[in-house]
Amino acid sequence: MIFDKLHDLEEIEKKILKGETLLIAADEKLLKKLPAGRWIGGTTTYFMTELGGVCTDKKIFVTELDAVASNINIKTYDENTIENIYLDAPENGFSFIIMPAGSKCHSVFSMEAFSFKDFAMRPLIGWLPGTHLDETGVDKPKAYSGAAPGKSIGGAIVMHVELTGNKLAEVGMLNMFEQGGGDTITFPESGFTAKEAYINGVKVDFAKYIFENNLDLRLPLVTDVNGTFVNTSFCRNFGDDGEVMFYSPVFKTFEYKHAKPVANYAEKFTKKLSMGLGVEMVFSCNCILNYIYSGLDRYSRSDLSGPVTFGEIAYHIHNQTVVYLRIIHNQ
Amino acid sequence: MLGTTIPSVRDHIWKEIVTGQKTIGFEFLAANILIQRIRELYINEPSDENLQTYILQLRELFVRNSELASVKKDICKINNMEN
């Protein structure tokens, strides 16, 4: 991880005014003050840094792209235009998306991205902003852009980045969770909520099943996507009608299992990074649920840095994962 | 067909991957997500025309990303599966 660290507002203002290309994460009151320029940003007050997990509303996390970017295009999407995101991506490069949860755009992307023209044909990475956990329901997660400084974005903000020369972008996802050995869970409908589920083929009230089986909602549902484990995380609160709520949709065609507990998340993560993944990594972000459930706020290793996020995007939406962008220098 | 040469669109391996007759766990995240998607679509509407569309789509993903080390490994897996 060579580009990222926490900065003061004044430092970032100078970088923006010098014309640097930046991906930014910070508290809203800092993002709102940033001048026009080549940047996009989202709200969070949680970060993984060289010093471990940090919560601050006084510093800005930045990823500098000038060493790798030859050209950029900052574009705003809404629920009607988000389907073009893969079509707009550069031939050699990547697209970086910041999209607040709860918007129509977020809903359309989460439910329908699989059907977008050229889905997954070009690298797409990004994250969902959030607020300080003490401010949940008071403040709203927001995205900003140097193309229209001071104004939050209603849908999604995307920086399409063309890479210089012989560089290649690789987007990946790290998931420390695996499927447990319990019941097979499917859903009659796709969506962010589920009143009912099929447990080993038998229809049940899903909330009742969770209570009766004492399911630990800190652990996600995990589905096997052609050998890649993909998570769907539970919201801790239930809906007004007792429906179970999720941070990303469940899909009726997928089979899920409740995840196995992870004994030592931070150690397992470090082991994965030590296998060489950290080399050429330009950006990564880790989920707030890992931060609070897995002890990352007490994590003190220097090989993990990035904003702590409220949903991750690597081609599609993910929960309780790390997503990363590597820029590889092709020989 | 050996090494990191991408099998031609007429190669039977693509049909086997798309229809689920053969399962290869790829390192390339985009490939795994796309395969899951197109298998679902094919199961819902299993026509020759759709099969051809999905084969072209999947092969194109490998072509566009063929310089990535992870994709090179995956192409080797496809070729090894084929032989």
Using the Cβ of B78 and the Cβ atoms of chain A, whether some distance falls under 8 Å is answered with: no
Q: Say yes or no for a CB contact (<8 Å) between B61 and A121.
A: yes
Query: If residue B59 lies in a helix (H) or strand (E), which one and from where to where?
Result: helix B48-64
pLDDT in tens, B25-49: 999 999 999 999 999 999 999 999 9
pLDDT, residue A301, reads: 60
Handedness of CA A176, A247, A128, A158 (dihedral sign): positive
* pLDDT of A2 over the 60 cut: no
Domain boundaries, chain A: 3-174+266-329, 185-258
pLDDT, residue A273, reads: 66
**What is the CA angle B8-B69-A125, rounded to 5?**
100
* pLDDT of A274 over the 90 cut: no
* pLDDT of A90 over the 80 cut: yes
Q: Say yes or no for a CB contact (<8 Å) between A120 and B68.
A: no
* A267, amino acid identity: E
Out of A11-15, A113-117, A278-282, least confident range:
A278-282
pLDDT in tens, B54-79: 999 999 999 999 988 889 999 999 99
Q: Say yes or no for a CB contact (<8 Å) between A316 and B33.
A: yes
For residue A162, the cross-strand partners are: A71, A93
pLDDT, residue A135, reads: 76
Residue A319 makes CB contacts below 8 A (sequence gap 6+) with A220, A231, A232, A233, A246, A247, A248, A287, A289, A311, A312
Half-sphere exposure (CA, 13 Å, Cβ side) for A82? 25
d(CA B78, CA A202): 37
Binned at pLDDT 50, 70 and 90, residue A278 comes out as low
* pLDDT of A1 over the 50 cut: no
Using the Cβ of A330 and the Cβ atoms of chain B, whether some distance falls under 8 Å is answered with: yes
Binned at pLDDT 50, 70 and 90, residue A300 comes out as low
Residue A95 makes CB contacts below 8 A (sequence gap 6+) with A85, A86, A88, A89, A122, A123, A124, A125, A126, A158, A159, A160, A161
A226 contacts in B (CB within 8 Å)? Answer: 23, 25-26, 31-33, 35-36
Q: Say yes or no for a CB contact (<8 Å) between B33 and A315.
A: yes
Using the Cβ of B56 and the Cβ atoms of chain A, whether some distance falls under 8 Å is answered with: no
* pLDDT of B2 over the 60 cut: no
pLDDT, residue B42, reads: 94
* pLDDT of A136 over the 90 cut: no
**What is the CA angle A221-A227-A228, rounded to 5?**
55
d(CA A196, CA A190): 11
* pLDDT of A296 over the 80 cut: no
**More confident site: A236 or A314:** A314
ipTM attached to this prediction: 0.90
Q: Per-residue pLDDT averaged across A295-323, rounded?
A: 85
pLDDT, residue A154, reads: 87
pLDDT, residue A302, reads: 52
pLDDT in tens, A42-59: 999 999 887 778 899 999
Contact residues, B window 4-33, toward A, CB-based 8 Å cutoff: 23-26, 29-33
pLDDT in tens, A177-194: 999 999 999 999 999 999
A119-151 burial string, b = 16+ CB within 10 Å, else e? bbbbbbbbbbbbbbeeeeeeebbbbbbbbebee
A121 contacts in B (CB within 8 Å)? Answer: 30, 60-61, 64
pLDDT in tens, A215-269: 999 999 999 999 999 999 999 888 888 999 999 999 999 999 999 998 887 777 7
Residue A153 phi, psi dihedral angles, 5° rounding: -95, 135
**Sheet (strand A93-98) strand order:** A69-77, A156-163, A93-98, A124-127, A312-314, A316-318
Contact residues, A window 145-174, toward B, CB-based 8 Å cutoff: 168, 170-173
